[in-house]
Amino acid sequence: MTVLPNSLHARDIAYQIHPYTNMRRHERNGPIVIERGSGIHVYDDQGREYIEGLAGLWSVAVGFGESRLVEAAARQMAKLPYYHTFTHKSNEPSIELAEKLATMTPDGLDHVFFTNSGSEANDTVVKLAWYYNNALGRPEKKKFIARNGGYHGITIASGSLTGLQVNQRGFDLPLPFVKHVTCPHHYRFAEAGESEEAFADRLAAELEATILAEGPETVAAFIGEPLMGAGGVLVPPRTYWEKVQAVCRRHDVLVVADEVINGFGRLGTLFACEHFGIQPDMLVVSKQITSSYQPLAAVVVSDAIYQAIADQSERLGTFGHGFTASGHPVATAVGLENLAIIEERGLVANAAKVGAHLQARLRAFADHPLVGEVRGVGLIAAVELVADKASKAKFDPPGKVGFRFFEKAHEHGLIIRAIQDSIAFCPPLIITEAQVDEMIDRFARTLEDIQAWIAAGMPA
Ligand code: PMP
């Protein structure tokens, strides 16, 4: 597209540095400026309509233009637009939301620390685990084990937990306190003929060998997304979580479930921990907690962790950690209203029901010559495109086809995420079966175009 001088597009190019963007490409092509949204749709400044197949960044559960969230924010802005939660101060919405989260989350998780973002929440997880083990007189027990393909954020600590090259190349990450183990993706990493259960056994054995090699007295925690999102919508092999949890318990290693994408209904259960039978010591939530109408994340911890860190804060005089906006009254008020909407409208049950329809519709593409694997649970799914179905060979270079798909989909009124050559879906939880059908039609039309482009030798 041509970028007109002094247009919004030209000013974006001139002044704004974009996350997750090839900046030189952005200078050439300019932005798509999204102007407004309604339900599962967003509209750009050229008047084009898109189905938001990724709910923004996996997050707008209740859809766009939800007036109840606007009103909840406005009410709270008028009453108390800001206050902090440092040094014994509190505010009503943050208290109510903390109580609500303690009630909603799996048994045993009862104490809540608020942050602005998922990355800050995972940095908080690392600091809590360190503070906890210092409190218990185990200053050596500080390492984290995470997985290749995992995503936990981009700050120095959370970006070290993340197991994706794109976040680490050029940034001198990860820091050495993190050890990464094999990605639990059967399609790519199982050996020929290995069952899901056997693959899970092998991964649990690898985890145990890693803990033993490092020394269990040096390993604080294991962190994972129950179902991996940004790494490609990767569903773990059957029995994986029960097996890795047993290993962690044997070596007194904390289990941290990062439900920043999974939490609040995405898999058709309130939390993915229920779906996979995980009993974490810490749970991380964000995104769908406010449908991203406000920035907010939280770490919910067990009573054992809370008691140890509370004692330590008394010994040291204070718990020296917290953000200006921890427990922000407007963000937490919007969170409360958003969770009320999710409950009143039965959106978790909707994710299960409409999610089953989405999974069935996508699995119908499994025989397509370009499709290597279709995977997902509830309202999160991915279709992995491959150069060769039989050998599972990737395209060369990986990601070229995915990026072309991502761009082409816009022409068909569809926003998806391309993760290398996997096409990810994560629509708002309010989506209906008829809207899923419309989304799949747009996906199918894009796939036809991509197939023709590949057949033509992938011209520039
Ligand atoms: N954890 C997970 C599982 C995520 O998906 C994300 C964001 N996609 C984060 C952490 C980081 O959240 P944020 O972008 O708010 O820092």
Ligand 1, atom 1: closest residue by C-alpha: 152
CATH fold group of domain 68-344: Aspartate Aminotransferase; domain 2 (3.40.640)
Torsion angle, alpha carbons of 392, 398, 403, 406, to 10: 20
Instruction: Say if residues 309 and 303 touch (Cβ distance below 8 Å).
Output: no
Residue 104: predicted pLDDT: 97
* Residues whose CB falls within 8 Å of the CB of residue 50, separated by 6 or more in sequence, listed in order: 41, 42, 43, 44, 410, 413, 414, 415
pLDDT, tens digit (0-9, with 9 covering 90-100), for 46-63: 999 999 999 999 999 999
Are 332 and 94 in contact, with CB atoms under 8 Å apart? yes
Report the nearest-CA residue for atom 13 of ligand 1: 118
Return the best residue to mutate from 54, 115, 147, 152 for the ligand 1 pocket (most ligand atoms within 8 A of CB).
152
Residue ranges covered by each domain of the chain: 32-62+346-455, 68-344
- Whole-number Å distance between alpha carbons of 257 and 118: 12
Q: Residues 70-93: pLDDT tens digits? A: 999 999 999 999 999 999 999 999
Low-confidence ranges of the chain (pLDDT < 50): none
Q: Which of 20, 228, 256, 260 to mutate to test the pocket of ligand 1 (most atoms within 8 A of CB)?
A: 260
Residues 6 or more apart whose Cβ sits within 8 Å of residue 100: 336, 339
Ligand 1 atom having least distance to the Cα of 287: 15
For the whole prediction, is pTM greater than 0.95? yes
Residue 336 in contact with residue 96, Cβ under 8 Å? yes
Task: Return the pLDDT at 53.
Answer: 98
Residue 2 has a pLDDT of: 73
Domain 32-62+346-455: assigned CATH number = 3.90.1150.10
